Chain A
Amino acid sequence: MRPDPLRSKAVLSDLAGPNAPVVRRSFLRLGAALTGSLALGGKAAMADPAQGSPPADAPWSQSIGAGVVDRPYGRPADTEASVIRRNVPWLTASAESSVSFSPLQDLHGIITPNGLFFERHHAGRPDIDPAQHKLMIHGLVERPLLLTMKDILRFPSISRIHFIECPANGGMNWRAAQMNSLQFSHGMVSCAEWTGVKLSTLLEETGIKKEAKWAMVEGADGAHMNRSLPLDKCLDDCLVVYAQNGEALRPEQGYPLRLVVPGWEGNVNIKWLRRIKLGDKPWHSREETSKYTDLMPDGTSRGFTWLIDAKSVVTFPCPEKPLDGPGLYEIRGLAWTGNGKVRRVDVSMDGGVNWQTARLHEPVLSKALTKFTLPWRWDGRPALVASRVIDETGYVQPTIAELRKQRGSNSVYHNNSIQTWQVKSDGSVFNVQLG
């Protein structure tokens, strides 16, 4: 992702043969322009606006560009170098057991690019040889199976678009507004098209014994991360996937095989999936007792709170994307629910006194990110911008005050409250909570 000035020089010298004097000159100019702009923080090649604007012919119009397969895989423009997953260095003890956040402020649709999909590892990202990777299915089955990747690819395939959200997304804002950033307040949600096999297909192939009620799913990473899932959910809509947005899973997303549990907390979507065992009771693994349980004010804890409740957030404006003076803007945002489809999103500019219904953009898919927009003429006065989703069950996204009334502020997980952005008269935007 980093711009690489050395590499640009290599391209230059390659092309700077005796037959390419014009090319050479323009590349030098383009190189200088890019280097200059990047030094100023990646603000595009506009250091001298006159150079790239009419009536002048832009420098990149006076040269020949790089050829095909110059970048055989491809990568974003160098000027997009700031659009990356980021972490909160003080949040965790080590990067191997940690989380990174998706840059929602720079994304424009419901699909998260594979390189920007948020990460959560418990023992780092393993480097797995797909030729050796196996999936074992055993326990209360008729016919325990060992499947290679080749075997799994032969089963009938299915593609579905689903979000995955870490239930700790927004966890840092349970007590108070803490992270002044969309990326760090909401970036532990991403959405992709997943391709693989229905888990029900694999379980029918092994045969399910009638005493089986639960499945234990386990990863091949160093932590052998494992969770218990009710068999009903496994047979309903779970997917064992090998592809994400049309290409093989990224290593950090579980290559070569992961589980997708639509609408349920990210932690159960086991990456690097190596084993599924059917049993008659849940396992109560560390990840579903010590972690991923919700501590209530009375000292009790809720366990097996898998569902991601309906949530929405305005992605523009946001702290990273302030307003540039009064005028007409399009409020943009994302909404999602583990309960199925988003039915409606309302937006308020006055801290929840009045609401207007936003436009939902197709496709509106079950358990997928849904885009909404609403035109807004900003008069330059301070505003409190918020969105509120209603899902197909009629559930209404709560305020943080309503959530705290039920759960206090120590439950870490499942903060799906309404996000309020304070817009100041200078257009700057801050994460605030109302109460």
Chain B
Amino acid sequence: MYSSGKICLPIAVVLLAAVGGLAGATEPGSFGYGSVATPAQIAGWDIDVRGEDGTGLPPGKSTVDRGADVYAEQCAACHGTFGEGEGRFPKLVGGVGSLRDERPEPTVGSYWPFAPTLWDYINRAMPMSAPHTLSADDVYALTAYILSLNDLVPHDFVADRNSLPKVKMRNRDNFIWTDPRPDTMAKPCMNACVDAADVRISSTAEGRDLTPRTTGPLDTMQPK
């Protein structure tokens, strides 16, 4: 058994190397499936904007005042007249200085690190019930208005592909983009890991009336 194993091993290594070599040699287009995407096709779908430097922002521009009009028509029903948020729809303004509080309020003004991301998101996803219906100019207008509501730009601000990346967002420098985890170093102790007398319940979900039922029809509960 040993000898055959010793003989087989080098063969296996050679075979693996050969297969690996083939896989590594794959040239672009070697399957040849599909079609090469044309510049016109790409232009239609190439909507992404980079937050940090605004790469991808299209031509066009608009003002805070125009934004107020578009906002009243397209956004205020959910986000409130001044971005305060209706019901549980997101607030767009406020919360500045709240991030270390017991109840922080992350908004465009207090939390978002990059202004071009706001243009990208409105253009990409808003208004929720009719996405991709706003012109580039109107998206610039809304971006200008929401930034203005947050006192991030002056009232005469004109939003365009050059001005948006230059807007200094308050929380810009407070993100760490490298994951520091694992950040806990628990040890897998098996016996007498803590003093039994120290085991105490610090919180319980019993009686909180927050949990929908998990049998019968779907629950429509609201918090009391």
A residues apposed to B, CB below 8 Å? 41-42, 82, 84, 86-94, 96-97, 103, 105, 122-123, 136-138, 141-148, 151-152, 154-155, 172, 176-181, 183-184, 204-207, 216, 218, 222-226, 274-275, 277, 279, 281-286, 289-290, 293, 295, 297-307, 309, 319-320, 344, 346, 350-357, 384, 388, 390, 395-399, 402-403, 406-407, 410, 414, 422, 430-435
Contacts and interface: CB of A to CB of B under 8 A. Distances in A.
B34 A180 contact: no
Given A96-B128, A286-B117, A353-B192, A178 B29 contact: no
Contacts of B212: 86-89, 181, 184
A22 B196 CA distance: 65
B36 interface: yes
Contact of B29 (A143, A222, A406): A143
A278 to B, nearest CB: 12
A41 B114 contact: no
Contacts of A136: 37, 41-42, 45
A285 B120 contact: yes
B6 interface: no
B182 A281 contact: no
A122 B128 CA distance: 9
Contacts of B114: 284, 289
A388 B45 CA distance: 46
Given A353-B192, A434-B201, A184 B211 contact: yes
Given A281-B52, A346-B188, A138 B46 contact: yes
Interface residues of B, number: 89
B218 A218 contact: no
Nearest to A430: B206
B121 A286 contact: yes
A409 to B, nearest CB: 9
Contacts of B42: 136, 138, 144
18 contacts: A90-B223, A96-B128, A123-B128, A143-B29, A184-B212, A204-B28, A226-B48, A285-B51, A286-B118, A289-B112, A290-B106, A295-B104, A298-B100, A303-B177, A307-B181, A320-B214, A351-B199, A353-B193
A226 B123 CA distance: 12
Contacts of A282: 50, 177
Contacts of A346: 188, 190
Nearest to A384: B199
Contacts of A97: 128
A151 B182 contact: no
A354 B190 CA distance: 6
Given A93-B78, A399-B186, 12 more contacts: A41-B216, A89-B219, A89-B221, A90-B88, A155-B31, A176-B203, A218-B48, A281-B52, A297-B100, A305-B181, A353-B194, A388-B186
A82 B106 CA distance: 37
A97 B178 CA distance: 28
Nearest to B42: A138
Contacts of B184: 396, 398, 402-403, 406
A94 B86 CA distance: 12
B125 A223 contact: yes
A390 B211 CA distance: 30
A142 to B, nearest CB: 5
Q: Of residues B90, B104, B185, B204, which shows the largest number of chain A Cβ atoms within 10 Å of its Cβ?
A: B204
Contacts of B192: 353-354
B51 A103 contact: no
Contacts of B104: 295, 410
B78 to A, nearest CB: 7
Interface of B: 26-31, 33-37, 41-42, 45-52, 78, 87-90, 99-100, 104, 106, 108, 111-114, 117-118, 120-121, 124-125, 128, 131-132, 171, 174-196, 199-206, 208, 210-212, 214-216, 218-223
Contacts of A350: 196, 199
B223 A84 contact: no
Nearest to A205: B31
Nearest to B88: A93
Contacts of A145: 34-37
B205 A431 contact: yes
Nearest to B130: A222
Contact of A284 (B106, B113, B178, B218): B113
B103 to A, nearest CB: 8
B89 A93 contact: yes
Given A86-B218, A275-B45, A434-B201, A138 B37 contact: yes
B210 A178 contact: yes
B186 A397 contact: yes
A373 B27 CA distance: 49
Contacts of A207: 27-29
A115 to B, nearest CB: 14
A138 B214 CA distance: 45
B99 A284 contact: no
Contact of B201 (A87, A218, A402, A432): A432
Contacts of B183: 406-407
A77 B220 CA distance: 25
A84 B171 CA distance: 41
Contacts of A218: 48
A328 B205 CA distance: 27
A223 B35 CA distance: 26
Contacts of A301: 99, 111, 171, 174-176
